[in-house]
């Protein structure tokens, strides 16, 4: 089992505020993202990832986001198996992101 890289919401926020362009994929469902997304994130619900791989750049870091960090971790595992090396899971998901805002 490959170790999944993780990023804390505070670190992600710091990097975004520093102007870093990050590939972020929000794997939550439509009704969840309607409540707000991290600016710059791309919405690809978890179940659609296999059909929408062409929308995910294979090179570089990919920050995966969900509500609590569980589904995004599954997405990281799946993408890693396909050779996406830069997968990083947002710890605590949007719940923690909003708490720290």
**Each residue's pLDDT tens digit, 27-39:** 999 999 999 999 9
pLDDT at 62 over 70: yes
47 alpha-carbon distance from chain centroid:
14
Q: Which CATH number fits the domain 5-99, given the four candidates 3.90.79.10, 3.20.20.70, 1.10.1200.10, 3.40.250.10?
A: 3.40.250.10
Radius of gyration of the chain (CA): 12
Sketch the domain layout of the chain as residue ranges: 5-99
Q: What amino acid positions are annotated as catalytic residues?
A: 66
Tell me what the pLDDT averaged over the chain comes to: 95
* pLDDT score of 99: 92
What's the predicted TM-score (pTM) here? Answer: 0.95
């Amino acid at each position: 089992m490959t170790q999944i890289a993780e990023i804390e919401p505070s670190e992600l926020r710091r990097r975004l505020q520093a102007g870093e362009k990050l590939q972020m994929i929000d794997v939550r469902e439509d009704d969840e993202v309607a409540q707000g997304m991290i600016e710059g994130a791309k919405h690809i619900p978890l179940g659609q990832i296999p059909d929408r791989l062409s929308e995910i750049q294979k090179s570089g870091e990919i920050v995966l986001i969900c509500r609590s960090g569980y589904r995004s971790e599954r997405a990281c595992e799946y993408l890693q198996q396909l050779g996406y090396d830069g997968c990083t899971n947002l710890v605590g998901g949007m719940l923690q992101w909003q708490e720290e805002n």
